[in-house]
Amino acid sequence: MTAEITPIKTAAESHLAEAFAAFRGGFADDAVAARREAAFRRFEVQGLPHRRVEEWKYTDLRALMRDAKPLAAAPDANAKARAKSAGNIFAAVNARRIVFVDGALVPELSDLAALEPGVKISSLADALGDGSSELTKRLAAASPAEGDVAYELNTAFMGDGAIVEVAAGVKAARPLHLVFVYGAQRAAAVFSRSLVTVGAGAGLALLESHEGPHGVDYQINTALDLVVGDGARLSRIKVNAEGDTALHLATLSATIGANASVSDFAFLSGGLVVRNQLFVRCAGAATTLDLGGASLLRGKQHGDTTLMVDHAAGGCQGRELFKSVLDGGSRGVFQGKIIVRPGAQKTDSRMMTRALLLSEDAEADNKPELEIFADDVQCGHGATSGALDENLKFYLMARGIPEKEAEALLIQSFVGEAIDTVPHEGVRDALAAATLRWLKGRS
């Protein structure tokens, strides 16, 4: 006789189980379904992570996610109408916009016409509906984020997203902007999954923005599977401007080939509870990786950046610079783990995080980790947190600049150092303007 231990489920866990039971009835019994099933079982074994789970130590999801919202319905006309001005942060960048409302691709709001040769864009929902074998293969490929709770839930519930392929050697002339907007007025949950493949020697600038209404406690779980081929260039800039009570869990799962150049930058100012996690595997040698971010938080916002960089091949250069500005009672979390596998010699990896605390009640948590199994590498990390420099503030004020303006200048310069790492001038300008807007909202 075996004793079966039934863990006590939280309300959110029970609702997720019910939602999954209802959801699985709706799809065909195919390979993708089996993956969903397996992912949900793995989630059920772990449950929602809490503070005793090391990877989620500072973001106790069990406490922060009290409830699981029902899956979002297809967007109605009103929701679509509200989405018209979405993604405007990059209005000045000549990007091709693909718009998702409540998780579903909306062709009439998207710019899918006259795609450049070598660039393919389609909907994940369509591919799932067709039972595409290519998709099954792609989803079955090893993913660096596998095993992560948020990612498993995403696999279990994924609805729609963009499938983007840039053929080998093709440099996409225009940036591609994935616009995600929550348009419903009632709280629901959205699980979106995008798959982006940049072929060998190809190039792509990928923009991603997430936004939604204030005062609606909707839940976003979004994931991006990224495969970057040998010698390819990819830059991704993600802006989180979710509504002020939203929950946003985002996962990047990236596998990068040799001699590639990849940069990722996250600008975070929206949402109530946000976790942006990056799982990046440098599978090929001599690749350059630049990861960065700027988080501007206030009120009760909780913003977590968690990254796992896995150097599996030698000669790669990694640069990580993350800045956070924490006002009010906000909390900024940074966890960065760098793994250098045996044989990944000549890895050169530097990680730096800086937190600027604007209030007594703000909190910055920082956990850098290095796991180095090769002996000829250069790896370093640094972390600082502190208040605005009073001497610098005095210098500015002694020149006639009023206190608030002096603080704003210093905050801009602090954030600017991170924004300057973004390899696209128009995007840098847009992020600098977003920083200014945030500063104007400071009381």
Partner 1 sequence: MGEERAKEVYVSLLEIKNLTVKIDDREILKGLDLVVDRGEVHAIMGPNGSGKSTLAHVLSGKPGYEVANGEVRFEGVDLLELAPDERAARGIFLAFQYPLEIPGVATMTFLRTALNAQRKARGEAELSTPDFMKRVREQAAKLSIDPELLRRPVNVGFSGGEKKRNEILQMALLEPKLAVLDETDSGLDIDALKVVADGVNRLRSPDRAMLVITHYQRLLNHIVPDVVHVLSNGRIVRSGGSDLALELEARGYARYQDEAALTP
Using the rule CB under 8 A, is 391 a contact of partner 1? Answer: yes
| Cα 291 to Cα 282: distance, rounded to the nearest angstrom | 13
User: Cβ closer to partner 1: 9 or 393?
Assistant: 393
Binding segment toward partner 1, per CB under 8 A, in 145-153, 294-302, 378-386, 410-418: 410-418
Binding segment toward partner 1, per CB under 8 A, in 63-71, 152-160, 305-313, 412-420: 412-420
User: Cβ closer to partner 1: 213 or 416?
Assistant: 416
Q: Are 188 and 212 spatial neighbours (Cβ–Cβ below 8 Å)?
A: no
Tell the smallest beta-carbon distance from residue 216 to partner 1 (Å).
36
- Restricted to residues 304-363, the positions that interact with partner 1 (CB under 8 A) are none
| Cα 418 to Cα 421: distance, rounded to the nearest angstrom | 6
- Residues contacting 322, CB < 8 A, separation 6+: 291, 292, 293, 294, 295, 305, 334, 336, 352, 353, 354, 418
| Cα 335 to Cα 418: distance, rounded to the nearest angstrom | 17
Using the rule CB under 8 A, is 400 a contact of partner 1? Answer: yes
Strand partners, 372: 340
Which is nearest to 70 in space by CA: 193, 217, 183? 217
How do beta strands 189-198 and 96-101 pair?
unpaired
Binding segment toward partner 1, per CB under 8 A, in 29-37, 62-70, 226-234, 389-397: 389-397
Binding segment toward partner 1, per CB under 8 A, in 116-124, 246-254, 369-377, 406-414: 406-414
| Cα 317 to Cα 298: distance, rounded to the nearest angstrom | 34
The one among 33, 168, 396, 436 contacting partner 1 by CB under 8 A = 396
- Restricted to residues 415-434, the positions that interact with partner 1 (CB under 8 A) are 416-417
| φ, ψ (nearest 5 deg) of residue 205 | -110, 120
Using the rule CB under 8 A, is 26 a contact of partner 1? Answer: no
Using the rule CB under 8 A, is 412 a contact of partner 1? Answer: yes
| Cα 161 to Cα 138: distance, rounded to the nearest angstrom | 14
The one among 112, 200, 372, 401 contacting partner 1 by CB under 8 A = 401
| Cα 264 to Cα 240: distance, rounded to the nearest angstrom | 14
Give the containing element (helix H, strand E) for 419: helix 403-419
The one among 413, 433, 437, 441 contacting partner 1 by CB under 8 A = 413
Using the rule CB under 8 A, is 395 a contact of partner 1? Answer: yes
Which residues of this protein are in contact with partner 1, per CB under 8 A?
390-392, 394-403, 405-406, 409-410, 412-414, 416-417
